[in-house]
Structures are given as structure tokens and as C-alpha cells.
Structure 1
């Protein structure tokens, strides 16, 4: 007699529990400007790209060498690159988020048919804007 009701009861019980795959975790606020700049980068939309950065953004090459500073300079440099690289595309391979820092491991395609380049970018976010970026080139043993 119990077996007769066990299957319908089990189905009813599990159908009332929302599936774990249905709930998507919310993107942390610190990731939003990083995603915005990626969208601008991949569409080569310099205004969208630059809007993710603070006016005083600092861009470094590891180990700690300041390459340039300011959104205007970023706009100029990336604008020139976007106009000369129609195949430009960045794919995020891995992402780490810790506090106000987002670290992206990337594969960058500059020209179709050529190998993609490995890149690591470390973004520091404050008040919804990227205030600092450090690019870490991979160690090349060749």
C-alpha cells in the first residue's frame, strides 16, 4: 500500500523544489565594468570600451611599469588599434574575482589565420569603473 503512494509523493516533492540549474548566480558588481570593456573590445567600439574606465585609469605592464595614464590616452591608443585590427577578438579562458580585483586569462586573436596570443589582465575596480589595469605577459621559453 505504501509503495502505491511513494512514487507520486516523490514526484510531487521533487517537482516543488526549484532546480539548481534554473537559478543563475548574480554577477558581482566588480565584474560589470570588466564585461563592458570586453564587449567594447570585441565589437571594436572605442566609446563603449572606454566608458568602463575611470578618467584617471592607470595602465601597467608587469612588473609595475606604468605604461600610460588616463581615459583620453586609453581612448587614443585603443581607438587606433581597433581601427587597424578588424579581426580583433578576446576570449576569456578563466576568471578569478577577489574583492575589487578581477583577473582574466585571455586568448586574443588579432588576425584571422594567425595563432591566438595568451594574455593575463588584472583589473582593479572602484565605484563601478576600472581604475587600474596590469597586463602580465606570459613567460616565453623559446
Structure 2
């Protein structure tokens, strides 16, 4: 039987809280000094307070949902492929996201996100 590693449990917990749009539960999985990046190295937020501020706004989107497509865990890294439903300025749609999480002491220490092209509902 294949049991999830502790690093996977941390990442799944933050995804579950993201989908519940529960900011307090979501923030329990992030280290106080974590880094949040657009892949490969564009800093979007530094520290839990900045990550919280980004997500308080995001969690207002009524259709926000991340659907896990695949997950790989190796050592202290977890790589997720997700399809995220968002409420964009142009309307509701989806975007593919590759998320890379570095886990330290049971918390997300750094995360990198590579976004695909958004697809609005009703497009091709």
C-alpha cells in the first residue's frame, strides 16, 4: 500500500483549505518566512502576511477551485499539476498550474507557480 508522505499531507491540506476558501486553515500550512514565486524566480510575496493578503482577495472569487490532476513527491519537494477555476476580469474560466512546493519542518517554505494560458468558459 502506498501511503502519502508528510510533505504530501501538508500540500493536500493547503489545497483543501484553498478550495474551502478558509484563509485561517490555509495559512496553517505556510511558514512565517515563506517565499511565493512566479516560476522561476519572480517574488510575488514574502512571508505569511503577504501570502495571506494575496489570498484573502482571491478567496472572494465565488468559483475558485483547484482540481488536482497529478502529484509527485520527492524528498522535500511536491510538484502538483492542477486545473484552477477562476473568476477572471473577462469572465469565468480555467488555467493549468504547475505548483512546486518546498516543505521544511512540516510547512511550505517556498512555492513556485507556473501558469498556463487561461481558457474562458465557452472558448474552444
Residues 106 and 118, structure 1, Cα contact 8 Å, conserved in 2: yes
Q: Secondary structure at the match of 2:113?
A: strand
Residues 94 and 105, structure 1, Cα contact 8 Å, conserved in 2: yes
Greater Rg over alpha carbons, structure:
1
Which one has a larger percent helix, Structure 1 or Structure 2?
Answer: 1
TM-score, structure 1 as length reference: 0.75
Which position in structure 1 is the counterpart of 2:73? 97
Question: How many positions carry a matched residue from both structures?
Answer: 115
Instruction: Return 5+ residue gaps in structure 1 as ranges.
Output: 1-23
Residues 95 and 117, structure 2, Cα contact 8 Å, conserved in 1: no
**Stretch deviating more after TM superposition (32-41 or 59-68):** 59-68
Q: Secondary structure at the match of 2:93?
A: coil
Q: How far apart in 2 are the matches of 1:98 and 1:27?
A: 11
| Superposed displacement of residue 122, structure 1 | 0.3
Which one has a larger percent strand, Structure 1 or Structure 2?
Answer: 2
Residues 77 and 103, structure 2, Cα contact 8 Å, conserved in 1: yes
Residues 14 and 26, structure 2, Cα contact 8 Å, conserved in 1: yes
List structure 1 segments (4+ residues) > 4 angstroms apart after TM superposition: none
